[in-house]
Each structure stands twice: as structure tokens, then as C-alpha cells.
């Protein structure tokens, strides 16, 4: 492998490794268990309060923070025949108890739900069955309350003031005494602090502690999502002070002892609006193969253990991306400035320097700390437009164009290796929003994923695999990115669905990634391909962070970790610390790796859900201005009462209720994915293209109703 340039001032230890490619009831009051006390409301985050544009706010408190990582407490003592569970509420008032021990959920009636809220931890006892055979449960005790502050809309009826929660799974209203309104007005979005939790006889009672804004204010959906999901969005004073203390330039002392890559034509390739540049890339020919350099911002140099910066980053564990705003994991002084690999300024980085064969095998790699100077801030759009012209060109050796040409060649090699490996390749459906000056949605268009996006993705995958293999071979504990094999019950359901469509999945009881990939390729040109591929995707478990190195099924990797985005993902920061520890011949330790993995995984899902809800709201608000207009879409789901349709371009989803179809009695066909009229024979099938009219929209819950117009052909 090509030797890296000489280090600044001192030799830096490097590590080489070989790697293959890699309402009122008569029931008795609930008891609290002997060892389980209702948790007191956590203290709010300290620091400067953000002031959203156009907000009419009184003195406001920040949302309650997510509890920091800590060892799990011992299970509480419960009465005999009582099981520990978490309440999953339903908008219609009933709920379910998700049992800690696993198995089927227990149904909780509306009467039983009066004393609990969504997310509460409870002791529950099996009590019988519903008419349709669902096991039911009786709430015996409250173990821990999940809701202390709730965001919602302030309403009034018959002189009683109450808050209707934005979290629709909290079906109960929260009563607010007149002397606790604190200047809040009717229909405003507020945060209520619960002072008295609900009982079988009484509603929850609370006090308004924050006026978020008026219902129609710009960005109100984002402000609701932040509070609804308890997203930390205010940095502590200590964190801001630490970030500011570093300044905006790399100090000579910080660069000392690092490999000097400042003359190498490393470039960043990102979206047009990006500001946090995590990664830079460079490639050149090396013998019959390639040398690939992936340089990643060295966040771990600035964010140290036990610092305020680390405490806030660990609490957030990820940046949260909304269409109009980002809630960063790190203060902007780091995320957008000192750690961001901006062009023509020196930046500290961690480098994965790889040697890749002509067939895409990573034959060797090394990690080292370096200082770099990005030679250009490129966008996906401009790089994608340049790539075709670079194929036949002969750019000057060592130039940006020469590197881009080589990167494109390497991408094609990696792409072919990916196919041979059997990695899954689902085409996503992402929407891009443009906004008017008043904050309303002007237009929604599909995101275009070009070869530049795919190029960068493959380079990052290569570096991530090397990081995982490096840490695994060094036996350094770490959080891996693990995507497990399909569960047997999910696999059985998938095979049944496929068989009814005349399809099959290879691999028997233990399909390999290649079996999924082959089916995706075989069905890519079918009219129902998007819906079928979504069915395949839903049969797979979610990827998680865990210290158990279990590989990545979807990418068909034996080892995989996240190394390339430490500005916006805490697990990547941990991987950097682990790599540095190995290079220094030390061990990086955490008190509880398993618990930390659970927190990172949960916070990632929390961020995804919050972002998805805002996107659904914005799509609904856009369609609210299109009532009565006709759009073309694809049937993306079929249920006994209608069909779900995903519109072209906007990717907005809505329901065509059976009552809007030609008059008939409708039921699911034998294949379970076709809605069939019993007398007329009229049908709607999964994947079918139809025209629909926007009939009704409820932005608050993101629901859209369509009326069937005609088949689109």
C-alpha cells in the first residue's frame, strides 16, 4: 500500500489488517407495587432557550430530557399472577399491554385504560378473552408513569378547560384548572405538566407550563414533534461554552503528530443545503487496483468523555433532520464549523486508507489520525453531471478530476461486487419540499438519487466495514450496526403473501441476502414492484446498535459498524474512540455497552418517527390546498374496508374507502392483496395504477381521504 505522507512532528502509530470484501367504573382503585414508585418529573434541560420564528410564547420551559444512559433497575415486586408490561394506547380509547416476557399483547378495555396513559409501565393480570378471541388483561398496579409533560391543543367545554394530546395514543384529556392556564388561550398549542395522574375515577390534572404557539403558526408541526417525542433541543450553557472555547481554527498543537494530507485533493460531496460535512474522499489507481482514502471528521478529538459536550451528545445520540430545520447532536460551532470538513481550511480527521483489488476486494487497510484541507465542496448534482464526461477524459494526475474519475471507476467495481455479494437494493421514496415565504408548502417533488449519491454510499460502506473488522480483530468492545436475519413468523407470513402472487423466495427456512436480492431483481419491472418490495422490507427486522457483532443481513456483511458520521451519530463517535484506543494499544470501556446500544437504537427510532410525522403533516397540509383535485397514484395496501394509495411525485398516502367505490359488498380476495366487489366483480389490486380525487384532509393526524376516479392504465 502507498505509504501515507510523513506525520507532522512525530510518527503516528498505524494499524494494518487484512480484510476480505466484505368514564366512571365500579372497579377498585389501583395499587402501586411495593418496590415501584411513580417517577418524579425529570428536571428540564438548562441553557439558552431557542425562540422559534413567529412564536407567541410566554415564559417557557424546555421539554423534559431523555434520561441519560444508566444501568437498568431491578424489576419491581408484583402481586401473584401479575406480569410486567408497557401500555400501548389506541386513539379509539382502548389499548394493549406489551408484555416484557414477550408473547401476544393483552387487550386493555376503555374502562381499564382510564387510569393509565400510553407508555405507562404497569402490572397486568390476564382476565379472559374478547368475543373475537383476543386475550384481555386487568391493570393491577402502576409501576412507572411515562408522561409528565404533554404537548397538545387547549380546548374548553361547559366551562372546563383541558388539553387534547397531540400524541393520539393518549386518548384521555388533561384537565387544566382556570388558575393554571397561565395566559394560554383557546386552541393554542401548549405544554401541560401533569400534577395529578389519572385514576379509574378522575381525569389527569395539570398546569400549562409553555405556550408553544398558535395552531396555524409556521413550523408549529415541528415544535409539536420536538415536545411530543421529548427531543432535546437546548444545549446546556456548559456545552456551548466548551464548544466556543475551541475557536474556529485548528491549532498547531492539535495537528502535531498527525499524518499530513493537506496536499491530497480530498473533496466533500454532499447535498446542496448541507453544512455538516463529515466525510471527504480521494482515489487513485494502484497497480491493477485502487487506493481509496476516506477521511472523516475527528469529532472525538474535541468531544471528550465526561465533558458537557459528551453528555449532551450522548443524550441526543443523533441529529434529527426535518424538512426546514435540523436539531444537531453537537453545537453548530463544531457541527457546522470546526469539525465540518469545509473547503480550503485545515481540519482534523480520522482516515481509513484502503487498498482495493480490481474485483472490489479490500486487500488491506489502515487507520490513522491526520490533518487535511478539502480542495472542494462539491454537490451530488454537479458531480453526477461531470461523471459521464470524465469517462473518456485524461485529467491531470493528482487533480480533483483525476480522483473523481477514479472514484467513479471504483464505484462501478464496488457496485458489481455488491451484486455478487447479494446485498439488497431497495429504491426509496423520499420527498423534497420547497416552501413559500410564509412557511407553507409550495411544492413537493421526489428526491433524485443519482450516481454521485451511490458513489459516496459505496465509499462509506467500505470504510465502515474496515472499521468493524479492525475493532473485531482487536477485540475492542464497541457498538456494531447489526441487521439480523428474518424472524421465522415474519418469514412464514411473507412466503404466504408471495405464493398468493405466484412468487417464491429461495433459501428455505434460512434465506440468504442473495435470495432476497434475486427476488427484488425478478420483480423490479412489475406494476406492483414498490408494494412487493415494501412487503419484503417489512419482513426484515430493524437494524440496531449492539455490542454483539452479528453482521448486517441487508448489506450482506459479516462485520459492520458506523464510522463515517460522527458529527451526527453518537455510535460513530464511539467507533472513533475505539479505533484510537487500539492504535494507542489501550482499551476503550463503557459501563454498560448493551444498555448504551439500546439507548442509541431507541433514540434513532425516536428521531425517525418524529421526522416522519412532520413530513406526513406537511404532505397533508399541501393536499389540503388541493381538495377536489385529481392525482395519479399506486395502490400500496389493501384492507377489508378499502385501499391505500401512494401518490406519484409527492409520495403522500391516503385511503380510498370502500364506500367511495362502485356500490357493492367488498372483501379481500383469495390473494389477500385484492379488494373485490362480490356482485359487480369490481376490484382494486396491490400495485394497480389509479386516479383519485382528494376528498378530505386532517393535517393534525396526517390522514388523507381519496375518492376513486378511474384506472390510470
Over residues 514-528, the pLDDT tens digits come to 999 999 999 988 877
User: Which range has the worst mean pLDDT, 18-22, 91-95, 457-461, 488-492?
Assistant: 18-22
**Same structural domain for residues 325 and 391?**
yes
- Grid cell 394493549 is found at 96
**Same structural domain for residues 174 and 216?**
yes
Of the candidates 299, 321, 297, 314, the residue with the CA atom closest to the CA atom of residue 243: 299
Q: Which of 549, 583, 617 is the last residue of a domain?
A: 583
pLDDT tens by residue, 596-653? 999 999 999 999 999 999 999 999 999 999 999 999 999 988 999 999 999 988 889 9
Asked if the model's pLDDT at residue 71 lies above 50, the reply is: no
**Same structural domain for residues 193 and 297?**
no
d(CA 136, CA 150): 28
Residue 354 lies in a domain: yes
β-strand pairing of 441-446 with 642-647: unpaired
pLDDT tens by residue, 161-191? 999 999 999 999 999 999 999 999 999 999 9
Question: 30 and 139 in contact (C-beta within 8 Å)?
Answer: yes
pLDDT tens by residue, 108-134? 999 999 999 999 999 999 999 988 888
**Same structural domain for residues 195 and 94?**
yes
Confidence band, pLDDT 50/70/90 cuts, at residue 237: very high
Distance of CA 96 to the CA centre of its chain: 25
d(CA 171, CA 116): 10
3 state SS of 190:
strand
The reported pLDDT for the residue numbered 42 is: 35
The reported pLDDT for the residue numbered 649 is: 83
CA angle, residues 628, 188, 57, in degrees to nearest 5: 125
105, 111, 116, 122 alpha-carbon torsion, rounded to 10°: -40
d(CA 373, CA 196): 57
- Grid cell 489488517 is found at 17
Question: 300 and 583 in contact (C-beta within 8 Å)?
Answer: no
36 compared with 73, residue with greater pLDDT: 73
| Mean of per-residue pLDDT scores for the chain | 88
Question: How many Cβ atoms sit within 10 Å of the Cβ of residue 711?
Answer: 10
Domain hosting 637: range is: 626-711
The 3-state secondary structure of 546-573, one letter per residue: ECCCCCECCCCECCCCCCCCCCCEHHHH
The reported pLDDT for the residue numbered 568 is: 97
Cell of 555: 448489506
The reported pLDDT for the residue numbered 5 is: 44
**Same structural domain for residues 272 and 415?**
yes
Residue 128 half-sphere exposure toward CB, CA atoms < 13 A: 4
Asked if the model's pLDDT at residue 283 lies above 70, the reply is: yes
Percent of the chain predicted with pLDDT > 70: 89
The reported pLDDT for the residue numbered 73 is: 58
From residue 130, give the alpha-carbon distance in Å to each of 106, 109, 137: 10, 10, 10
Asked if the model's pLDDT at residue 53 lies above 50, the reply is: no
Asked if the model's pLDDT at residue 587 lies above 70, the reply is: yes
CATH number of 651's domain: 2.40.50.140
The reported pLDDT for the residue numbered 295 is: 98
The reported pLDDT for the residue numbered 392 is: 87
Q: Which of 228, 250, 270 is the last residue of a domain?
A: 228
- Grid cell 401548549 is found at 190
In 24-148, where do the E strands start and end?
A: 31-32, 83-89, 95-99, 106-108, 121-129, 135-144
**Same structural domain for residues 345 and 448?**
yes
Q: Which of 583, 617, 652 is the last residue of a domain?
A: 583
**Same structural domain for residues 105 and 184?**
yes
Q: How many domains does the chain have?
A: 4
d(CA 230, CA 220): 15
Query: For residue 137, what are the β-bridge partners?
Result: 126
Question: 559 and 468 in contact (C-beta within 8 Å)?
Answer: yes
**Same structural domain for residues 415 and 508?**
no
From residue 54, give the alpha-carbon distance in Å to each of 57, 212, 216, 246, 390: 9, 10, 10, 33, 48
Residue 600 lies in a domain: no
- Grid cell 447479494 is found at 422
The model's pTM is: 0.85
Q: Give the H/E segment covering residue 581.
A: helix 570-583
CATH number of 55's domain: 2.40.50.700
What average pLDDT does this structure show over 667-696? Answer: 90
pLDDT tens by residue, 530-541? 888 888 988 999
d(CA 52, CA 41): 25
The reported pLDDT for the residue numbered 50 is: 37
d(CA 442, CA 592): 47
Query: For residue 706, what are the β-bridge partners?
Result: 656, 694
The reported pLDDT for the residue numbered 74 is: 63
pLDDT tens by residue, 241-266? 999 999 999 999 999 999 999 999 99
d(CA 468, CA 462): 10
402: region left, alpha or beta (phi > 0 left; psi from -120 to 50 alpha): alpha
Q: Give the H/E segment covering residue 596.
A: helix 593-624
What average pLDDT does this structure show over 544-563? Answer: 96
The reported pLDDT for the residue numbered 429 is: 74
In 323-455, where do the E strands start and end?
A: 325-327, 346-356, 362-373, 376-379, 431-435, 441-446
Amino acid at each position: 500500500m502507498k505509504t501515507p505522507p510523513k506525520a507532522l512532528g512525530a510518527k503516528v502509530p498505524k494499524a494494518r489488517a487484512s480484510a476480505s470484501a466484505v368514564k366512571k367504573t365500579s372497579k377498585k382503585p389501583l395499587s402501586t407495587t411495593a418496590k415501584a414508585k411513580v417517577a418524579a418529573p425529570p428536571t428540564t434541560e438548562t441553557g439558552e432557550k431557542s425562540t422559534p420564528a413567529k412564536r407567541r410564547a410566554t415564559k417557557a420551559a424546555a421539554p423534559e430530557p431523555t434520561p441519560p444512559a444508566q444501568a437498568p433497575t431491578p424489576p419491581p415486586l408484583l402481586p401473584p399472577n401479575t406480569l410486567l408490561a408497557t401500555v400501548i394506547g389506541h386513539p379509539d380509547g382502548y389499548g394493549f399491554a406489551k408484555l416484557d416476557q414477550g408473547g401476544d399483547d393483552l387487550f386493555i378495555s376503555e374502562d381499564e385504560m382510564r387510569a393509565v396513559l400510553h407508555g405507562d409501565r404497569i402490572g397486568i393480570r390476564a382476565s379472559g378473552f374478547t368475543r373475537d378471541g383476543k386475550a384481555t388483561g386487568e391493570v393491577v398496579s402502576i409501576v412507572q408513569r411515562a408522561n409528565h409533560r404533554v404537548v397538545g391543543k387547549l380546548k374548553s367545554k361547559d366551562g372546563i378547560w383541558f388539553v387534547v394530546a397531540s400524541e393520539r395514543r393518549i386518548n384521555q384529556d388533561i384537565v387544566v384548572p382556570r388558575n393554571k392556564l397561565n395566559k394560554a388561550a383557546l386552541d393554542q398549542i401548549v405544554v401541560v405538566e401533569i400534577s395529578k395522574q389519572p385514576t379509574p375515577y378522575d381525569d389527569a390534572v395539570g398546569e400549562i407550563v409553555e405556550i408553544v404557539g398558535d395552531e396555524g403558526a409556521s413550523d408549529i408541526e415541528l415544535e409539536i414533534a420536538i415536545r411530543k417525542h421529548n427531543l432535546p433541543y437546548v444545549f446546556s450553557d456548559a456545552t456551548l461554552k466548551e464548544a466556543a472555547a475551541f475557536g474556529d481554527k485548528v491549532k498547531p498543537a492539535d495537528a502535531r503528530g498527525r499524518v499530513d494530507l493537506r496536499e491530497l485533493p480530498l473533496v466533500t460531496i454532499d447535498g446542496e443545503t448541507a453544512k455538516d460535512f463529515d466525510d471527504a474522499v480521494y482515489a487513485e489507481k494502484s497497480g491493477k487496483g485502487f487506493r481509496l482514502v476516506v477521511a472523516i471528521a475527528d469529532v472525538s478529538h474535541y468531544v471528550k468523555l465526561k465533558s458537557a459536550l459528551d453528555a449532551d451528545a450522548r443524550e441526543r445520540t443523533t441529529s434529527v433532520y426535518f424538512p426546514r430545520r435540523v436539531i444537531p447532536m453537537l453545537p453548530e460551532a463544531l457541527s457546522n464549523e470546526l469539525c465540518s470538513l469545509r473547503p480550503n481550511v485545515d481540519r482534523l480527521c480520522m482516515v481509513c486508507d484502503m487498498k482495493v483489488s480490481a474485483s472490489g476486494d479490500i486487500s488491506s487497510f489502515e487507520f490513522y489520525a491526520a490533518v487535511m484541507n478539502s480542495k472542494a465542496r462539491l454537490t451530488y448534482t454537479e458531480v453526477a453531471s461531470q461523471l459521464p464526461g470524465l469517462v473518456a477524459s485524461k485529467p491531470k494526475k493528482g487533480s480533483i478530476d483525476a480522483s473523481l474519475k477514479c472514484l467513479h471507476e471504483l464505484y462501478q467495481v464496488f457496485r458489481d461486487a455488491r451484486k455478487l455479494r447479494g446485498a439488497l437494493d431497495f429504491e426509496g421514496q423520499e420527498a423534497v419540499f420547497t416552501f413559500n415565504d410564509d412557511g407553507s408548502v409550495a411544492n413537493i417533488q421526489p428526491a433524485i438519487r443519482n450516481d454521485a449519491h451511490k458513489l459516496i454510499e459505496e465509499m462509506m460502506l467500505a470504510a465502515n466495514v474496515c472499521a468493524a473488522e479492525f475493532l473485531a480483530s482487536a477485540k475492542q468492545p464497541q457498538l456494531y450496526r447489526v441487521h439480523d436475519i428474518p424472524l421465522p413468523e415474519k418469514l412464514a407470513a411473507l412466503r404466504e403473501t408471495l405464493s398468493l402472487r405466484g412468487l417464491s423466495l429461495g433459501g428455505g427456512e434460512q434465506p440468504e441476502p442473495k435470495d432476497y436480492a434475486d427476488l427484488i431483481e425478478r420483480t423490479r419491472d412489475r406494476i406492483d414492484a414498490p408494494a412487493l418490495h415494501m412487503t419484503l422490507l417489512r419482513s426484515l427486522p430493524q437494524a440496531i446498535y449492539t455490542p454483539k457483532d452479528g453482521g448486517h443481513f441487508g448489506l450482506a456483511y459479516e462485520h459492520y459498524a458506523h464510522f463515517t458520521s460522527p458529527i451526527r451519530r453518537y455510535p460513530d463517535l464511539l467507533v472513533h474512540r475505539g479505533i484510537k484506543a487500539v492504535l494507542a494499544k489501550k482499551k476503550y470501556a463503557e459501563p454498560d455497552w448493551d444498555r448504551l446500544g439500546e439507548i442509541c437504537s431507541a433514540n434513532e427510532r425516536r428521531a425517525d418517527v418524529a421526522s416522519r410525522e412532520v413530513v406526513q403533516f406537511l404532505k397533508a397540509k399541501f393536499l389540503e390546498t388541493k381538495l377536489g383535485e385529481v392525482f395519479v397514484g399506486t395502490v400500496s395496501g389493501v384492507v377489508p374496508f378499502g385501499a391505500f394509495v401512494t401518490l406519484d411525485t409527492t409520495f403522500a398516502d391516503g385511503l380510498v374507502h370502500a364506500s367511495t367505490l362502485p356500490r357493492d359488498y367488498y372483501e379481500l380476495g383469495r390473494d389477500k392483496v385484492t379488494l373485490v366487489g362480490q356482485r359487480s366483480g369490481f376490484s382494486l389490486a396491490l400495485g394497480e395504477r389509479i386516479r383519485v380525487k382528494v376528498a378530505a384532509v386532517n393535517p393534525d393526524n396526517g390522514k388523507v381521504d381519496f375518492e376513486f376516479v378511474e384506472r390510470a392504465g
